[in-house]
Amino acid sequence: MTSANPTTTNGAAPAEAIEAIATVRTQVAELHDELVKNQLIVWTGGNVSGRVPGYDLFVIKPSGVVYDQLSPENMILCDLDGNVIEGSDGSERSPSSDTAAHAYVYRHMAHVGGVVHTHSTYAVAWAARGEEIPCVITAMADEFGGPIPLGPFAIIGDDSIGRGIVETLDGHRSRAVLMQNHGPFTIGKDAKDAVKAAVMCEDVARTVHIARQAGDLIPIPQEAIDSLFDRYQNVYGQTPQGENK
């Protein structure tokens, strides 16, 4: 965080942040389409939020608005206490009912730039059973560095869910947590990264569930998980221009 005073005294967004806010509004609005395309939500459930880089602000979807009516203009701008910023486009709407949870994560995990919540079927099924997803496929070791942990049961409406997310993921390599009897929340370096984690969380939840129906799961040795995670996070992908492989 680089801004010590992210809002003016009347609660409005600072003028110098307008361009950054507009960029995040557009990103967050567009990323909700990915939840629909990947079948991670039903009706108006679920949400994506994104931190405004350099400011104690984040953008989140409005509550109860169907996905095909979401746009950059009706995304809600909030401070890190979850308060709606006055005078911002969309501020006449109420923010997502998960806003307090997102705000708590941003306040306590400075490295997080995006938070996603979905009601994806297989991940919710694991949460309903109160089970973490064991790391038994290499794609899971790559993306999450181990099991996807189970978070505590918490009632929506205040920051209880946020506290559970932070307590569970603090010091954990996973970017996903299954909140018991509720569903998955994911974090990322930005909103797009958090959406990717949500897509991958549902993919591994489905695969491991199906595998377990057919027989016993074969665990991956911890040293192999560590090696796979390190390679995927630090070696996999394209080498930036100007650097040698």
3-class state of residue 218 by DSSP = coil
List the CATH number of the domain containing 172.
3.40.225.10
The model's pLDDT over 133-174, given as tens digits with 9 standing for 90+, comes to: 999 999 999 999 999 999 999 998 889 999 999 999 999 999
Domain coverage including residue 95: 15-234
Domain contains 51: yes
The pLDDT, as a whole number, for residue 238 is 61
CA–CA dist 163, 153 (Å, integer): 11
pTM given for the model: 0.91
pLDDT band at residue 107 using 50, 70 and 90 as cut-offs: very high
The pLDDT, as a whole number, for residue 148 is 98
Domain contains 242: no
CA dihedral 138, 139, 141, 144 (to 10 degrees): -170
Domain contains 2: no
- Residue 68: CB atoms within 10 A of its CB come to 9
Mean pLDDT of 119-146: 98
Domain contains 245: no
Mean pLDDT of 179-208: 98
Domain contains 239: no
Q: What is the mean pLDDT of the chain?
A: 91
Domain contains 185: yes
Burial of 230 (0-12, 13-18, 19+ CB in 10 A): middle
Domains identified in the chain, total number: 1
Domain contains 47: yes
Domain contains 9: no
Mean pLDDT of 26-39: 97
The pLDDT, as a whole number, for residue 5 is 44
